[in-house]
Chain A
Amino acid sequence: MELKTKVNTEEGKQEIFITREFDLPVDLLFKAYIEPQIVEQWMGTKVLKLESKKHGSFQFETTDPKGNKHCFNGVIHEFTPNEKIIRTFEMEGASFGVQLEVLEFLKLTSNQSKLQKQVIYQSVAYRDENLKLPFRQGINWAHNRLEEIVKSLK
């Protein structure tokens, strides 16, 4: 089964596009982004603050399996219900800079919707570092000889 989520990255560009279609009416998809309790469930994070409005701000706190806390924050620049959110996103204490996120919520049918997320990073290097993060965390095979083998293939 193919993953429903598409991630488009162009070589040398400092942005990525994440696209996904949902079997949900667009208002429910939007709601999943603005209700703190719902965001907590699917993002797997604690929501300390989420002001879903223009010039509102948000703060998330995630605890990793090792018990370390990671804080994220951002400010909402544009807020159009069921259509669009433009916000900044920053991982505190990480060297990835600040991201600008443009989220577009599109109605496909009465029961289907599509999310288009454009994430713009401060530099190509920041983008690539950010993309590699789940790879590093999830697999945790750094310093493993396998990694060296893979590198030698490139």
Chain B
Amino acid sequence: MKLRRDVFQAIADPTRRAILLLVASQSMTAGAIANNFDTARPTVSKHLQILTACELLAQEQQGREIIYHFNPNKMKEVADFIEPFRKMWDDRFNKLEEIMKKHQPNQ
């Protein structure tokens, strides 16, 4: 479930959304992906790492190169629109709990 939360963080970033968009249209190597951005290559690598970690992208070794594929099934899972609603309330309630725990000694 931790992973699921990370998926939302992953797609909250505009560069990562752009990467997904790109790879969704065609599977490609890290180098080819990086060529589409002005961002430094290590930054793009970092984004690819995050997207791979939460399974929005899948890696495939092809000879010396790693090809990145888009994982539509994971994307579909994100599309479950209840999750952001649930996360919104979970964040609020976590905050409530935190505030009231500190509040306790003042009682």
For A146, what are the chain B residues with a Cβ–Cβ distance below 8 Å? 11, 17, 20-21, 24, 75
Digitize A120-154: 1 where CB-to-B-CB distance is under 8 Å, 0 elsewhere.
00000000000111110011010011100110011
Docked complex: B66-102 residues within 8 A CB-CB of A: 72, 75-76, 78-79, 81-90, 92-97, 99-101
Contacts of A7 in B (CB 8 A): 82, 85-86, 89
Q: How far is the CA of A133 from the CA of B87 in the complex (A)?
A: 12
Q: How far is the CA of A44 from the CA of B94 in the complex (A)?
A: 13
A130, closest chain B residue (CB): B85
Neighbouring A residues of B25 by C-beta, 8 Å: 145
Indicate if the CB atoms of A23 and B72 lie closer than 8 Å. Answer: no
Over the window 12-44 of chain B, the binary record of Cβ atoms lying under 8 Å from chain A Cβ atoms (1 yes, 0 no) is 100001001100110000000000000000000
Contacting residues, chain B, for A135 (C-beta < 8 A): 81, 83-85
| A44 CB contact (under 8 Å) in B21, B84, B92, B97 | B92
CB distance from B12 to the nearest CB of A (A): 7
| B46, CB-defined interface residue at 8 Å | no
Looking at A7, A31, A131, the one whose CB has the most chain B CB atoms below 10 A away is: A7
In the bound complex, CA of A126 to CA of B84 (Å)? 17
Interface size on B, residues (CB 8 A): 38
Identify which of A35-43, A50-58, A79-87, A95-103 touches chain B.
A35-43
The chain B residue with its CB closest to the CB of A23 is B97
Q: Please tell me if the beta carbons of A144 and B17 are within 8 angstroms of each other in the complex.
A: yes
Contact of A22 with B by CB under 8 A? yes
CA distance A44 to B88 in the complex (A): 11
A139-B84, A144-B17 known; A150 and B79 CB under 8 Å? yes
Instruction: Return B2 CB to nearest CB of chain A, in Å.
Output: 5
Are A18 and B81 interface neighbours, CB within 8 A? no
Q: Which of A5, A20, A133, A153 has the most chain B CB within a 10 Å cutoff?
A: A5
From residue 1 to 32 of chain A, which have CB atoms closer than 8 A to chain B?
Answer: 1-7, 9, 18, 20, 22-24, 28-29, 31-32
Pick the contact of B21: A4, A18, A134, A145 (CB < 8 A).
A145
| Other A-B pairs, 20, CB within 8 Å; known A135-B85, A149-B75 | A1-B2, A3-B90, A4-B90, A22-B97, A23-B101, A24-B101, A28-B107, A32-B99, A42-B92, A42-B96, A42-B99, A132-B85, A134-B88, A138-B84, A141-B17, A145-B25, A150-B78, A153-B72, A153-B79, A154-B76
Q: Which 7 A-B pairs have the closest CB atoms?
A: A5-B90, A42-B96, A135-B81, A42-B95, A134-B84, A2-B1, A134-B88
